[in-house]
């Protein structure tokens, strides 16, 4: 059976992509954020995942407001990205792992999660930036994208997303393969990009949330979506991806590395890697 080695959660602010393209990683504004990745890359070199299941939210490249699935899973042989208007270079296509994709689709639908199945799928910066941050040399593993709606209400609740992550973890472990799998959660933490609270960051909540993923992982599931918007900002609900990724691992985890930096483009940027103990 497949081995689930751990998860990595990270922010995906588009400005990160421009910083990488412009070689600004050592600039004072960016250095505290990029310094969080070498320990995680070293861990990835040790566990050598064959597949990355990337839990992220689409920002209008593949899905738009007229068709916004709650959960969508890719089942393509490769995944392309495109110019989103942020000035981020378009990357080469990412290899898919259709065998795992169809196994996950069968298992998750059997667990009563209604998925949109995508045999073609464009992936935006929420997918490509974590892959570039974690494998900067381009030697990334095969991928399976799992998209969660955090853009248009109604959004799935934190408890529902936690349950999805648990089912996803069971499905990965039941895959008849000797592959090593890592789960990536892409988004957050607290930020609001528009409206009267534009620029809102809740450092206290973010720090509590980061600790909880190690010590009390279901802590955030006590909050409704409206509570989470109030506590983290309208875009801070992207922490749902972190919850789903964490839920795949089970109870016993080991902290590999944690990093938190504010602000980057009016956003609380964080990174957290956990290994299966």
Residues belonging to the active site: 125, 191
Structure tokens at 34: 């990029």
263: which 2 tokens?
């602000």
- Is there a contact between 107 and 170 (Cβ–Cβ < 8 Å)? yes
Q: CA separation (Å) from 207 to 49, 68, 147? A: 28, 31, 25
Tokens 């990835």 sit on residue: 44
What is the Cα–Cα distance from 128 to 150, expressed in whole angstroms?
Answer: 18
DSSP state of 193: -
Residues present in the chain in total: 277
- Residue labelled with tokens 């998209």: 147
Phi-psi region of 211 (alpha: psi -120 to 50; beta: other; left: phi over 0): alpha
């Amino acid at each position: 059976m497949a081995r689930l080695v751990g998860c990595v959660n990270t922010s995906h602010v588009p400005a990160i992509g421009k910083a990488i393209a412009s070689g600004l990683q050592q600039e004072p504004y960016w250095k505290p954020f990029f310094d969080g990745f070498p320990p995680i890359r070293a861990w990835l070199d040790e566990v050598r995942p064959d597949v990355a299941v990337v839990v992220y939210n689409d920002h209008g490249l593949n899905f738009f407001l007229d068709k916004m699935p709650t959960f969508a899973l890719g089942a393509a042989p490769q995944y392309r990205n495109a110019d989103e208007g942020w000035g981020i270079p378009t990357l080469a296509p990412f290899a898919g792992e259709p065998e795992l994709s169809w196994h996950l689709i069968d298992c998750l639908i059997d667990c009563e999660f209604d998925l949109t199945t995508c045999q073609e799928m464009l992936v935006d910066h929420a997918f490509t930036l974590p892959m570039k941050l974690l494998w900067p040399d381009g030697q990334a593993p095969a991928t399976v994208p799992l998209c969660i709606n955090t853009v248009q209400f109604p959004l799935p609740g934190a408890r529902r997303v936690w349950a999805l992550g648990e089912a996803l973890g069971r499905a990965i472990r039941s895959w008849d393969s000797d592959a090593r799998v890592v789960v990536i959660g892409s988004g957050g933490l607290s930020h609001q990009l528009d409206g009267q609270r534009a620029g809102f960051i809740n450092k206290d909540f973010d720090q509590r949330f980061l600790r909880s993923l190690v010590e009390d992982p279901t802590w955030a599931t006590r909050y409704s979506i409206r509570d989470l918007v109030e506590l983290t900002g309208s875009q801070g609900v992207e922490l749902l991806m972190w919850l789903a990724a964490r839920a795949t691992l089970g109870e016993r985890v080991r902290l590999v590395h944690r990093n938190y930096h504010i602000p980057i483009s009016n956003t609380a940027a964080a990174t957290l890697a956990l290994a299966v103990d």
